[in-house]
Structures are given as structure tokens and as C-alpha cells.
């Protein structure tokens, strides 16, 4: 293999050092240009009226914009008798469950207090 002269080695090393330095400066410049939060802060400091006006305009557009309309599907009249029966059955079932809960409430409370009372009595005897 051929030997590279010392002068050429020094030139290559200086070229490498220069390219590293140039690459570092370009990366710092790229970081500076891509720092969007800093750019927004500076812009807001320099032009607060424009920013506040733009935010107010966007808020006004959102408030005034028509809301989405809800689609309503209407069933045909053929099934209207069956629909009333289902609603009637559901109402009757809720009424029966409410009445049963009223009747069973004292029994349920007594059962729970007995169970909890048993646990508290056991914990007192252990201590």
C-alpha cells in the first residue's frame, strides 16, 4: 500500500475539522429554525393584538357554526302497536321491582347488619 505524505495527512485532518465545524453550525441553525414554541412565544410577544383577535375569531366561528343535526329515524305505523306493548311491559316490570324492593328492604337491612355485626364481634375478641 502506498504511504500518504505528512502534508496530505495534515490537509485531510484540517478538511475534516472544517467540515465538522460547518456541520455543527448548520445543525445549530436547523435547531434554531425548528424551535416552533419559541417562535410562537416571540410572535405573541411582538403582536399580541393579532393573536387575541385570531383566537376571538376562531372562538366566534365555533360558537356560531351550526351544530350537527341529529338524524331521527321514524318507524312505520305497522309496528306502533307492538312498540306500545313493549313499553308497557317494561313499565310494569319496573313497578313490580320497585314494590318488591320496598317489601324486602327491612329483611335485607337486618341480614346485612347481622353479617357486619358478626364481623365486628369477631374482631373485638381477637384483640
Q: What is the DSSP letter of 65?
A: S
Query: Does the pLDDT at position 12 exceed 60?
Result: yes
Query: Would you call 69 helix, strand, or coil by DSSP?
Result: coil
Reported confidence tier of residue 83, pLDDT bands at 50, 70, 90? low
- Rounded-to-integer distance, Cα 44 and Cα 112, Å: 64
Reported confidence tier of residue 85, pLDDT bands at 50, 70, 90? confident
pTM for the full predicted model: 0.38
pLDDT digits (tens, 9 = 90+) for 96-109: 999 999 999 999 88
Query: Would you call 34 helix, strand, or coil by DSSP?
Result: coil
Chain length of the chain: 127
Cell 324492593: give the residue.
101
Cell 465545524: give the residue.
21
Query: Does the pLDDT at position 13 exceed 80?
Result: yes
Distances (CA, A) of 100 to 57, 59, 60, 114: 58, 53, 54, 21
Amino acid at each position: 500500500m502506498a504511504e500518504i505524505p505528512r502534508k496530505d495527512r495534515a490537509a485531510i485532518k484540517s478538511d475534516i475539522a472544517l467540515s465538522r465545524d460547518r456541520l455543527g453550525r448548520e445543525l445549530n441553525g436547523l435547531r434554531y429554525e425548528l424551535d416552533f414554541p419559541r417562535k410562537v412565544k416571540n410572535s405573541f410577544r411582538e403582536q399580541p393584538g393579532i393573536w387575541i383577535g385570531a383566537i376571538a375569531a376562531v372562538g366566534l366561528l365555533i360558537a356560531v357554526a351550526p351544530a350537527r343535526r341529529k338524524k331521527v329515524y321514524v318507524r312505520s305505523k305497522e309496528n306502533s302497536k307492538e312498540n306500545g306493548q313493549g313499553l308497557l311491559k317494561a313499565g310494569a316490570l319496573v313497578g313490580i321491582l320497585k314494590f318488591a324492593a320496598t317489601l324486602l328492604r327491612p329483611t335485607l337491612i337486618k341480614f346485612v347488619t347481622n353479617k357486619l355485626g358478626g364481623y365486628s364481634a369477631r374482631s373485638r375478641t381477637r384483640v
